[in-house]
Chain A
Amino acid sequence: MLDLPLAWWAPLGFVVYAAISLRVGSLFPFSKYSMYASSPNRRQGAVPVLLCDGESVSWSAYERISGLRAQDMYPPGLPCSLEWMVLEAMRWVDDHPALAGEPAGPVQLTWGFRILTLTDDHELSEALRVIGTAQAWPRS
Chain B
Amino acid sequence: MAPELIEPWRHLFGLALAFSWIKSALLTLRAHDMPYTSGVRRGRLPRSRLVPLLGVGAILQLVLIEAWVLGWLVLWLPPLILASQGAVRVIEQRQWPSDHVVRLGKYAPSSAALLAHWVVLGLSGSEAAGWEAAAGVMGATLSLAALAKWREAGANWFKASGMGLLVAERAAFGPAPLRWIRGRVAGSRPLSAICSQVGMGVEAAGVLFVFPSLRLWLAGAVVALLVNFFVLLGYVEEEWMLALIAVTALSTLG
Interface string of B114-126 (1 = CB under 8 A from A): 0110001001111
Interface string of A29-47 (1 = CB under 8 A from B): 1111111111111111101
Answer whether residue A107 sits at the interface, using C-beta atoms and an 8 A cutoff: no
Answer whether residue A140 sits at the interface, using C-beta atoms and an 8 A cutoff: no
| Minimum CB distance partner of A86 in chain B | B37
Answer whether residue A81 sits at the interface, using C-beta atoms and an 8 A cutoff: yes
Interface string of B8-46 (1 = CB under 8 A from A): 000000000000000000000001111111100000000
**Residues of A bordering B, CB below 8 Å:** 1-4, 6-7, 9-15, 17-18, 21-22, 26, 28-45, 47, 49, 56, 58-60, 81-85, 87-89, 91-92, 95, 114, 116, 118, 120, 122, 124
Given contacts A21-B144, A91-B32, A116-B169, contact A31 B107 (CB under 8 A): yes
Q: How far is B186's CA from A116's CA once the two chains are assembled, in angstroms?
A: 11
Q: Name, among B107, B111, B140, the residue most crowded by chain A CB atoms within 10 Å (CB to CB).
A: B140
Given contacts A4-B129, A28-B108, contact A9 B96 (CB under 8 A): no
Consensus secondary structure, chain B interface? helix
Answer whether residue B56 sits at the interface, using C-beta atoms and an 8 A cutoff: no
Chain B residues with CB under 8 Å of A47's CB are 169, 172
Given contacts A40-B161, A84-B37, A87-B96, contact A95 B32 (CB under 8 A): yes
Chain A residues with CB under 8 Å of B47's CB are none
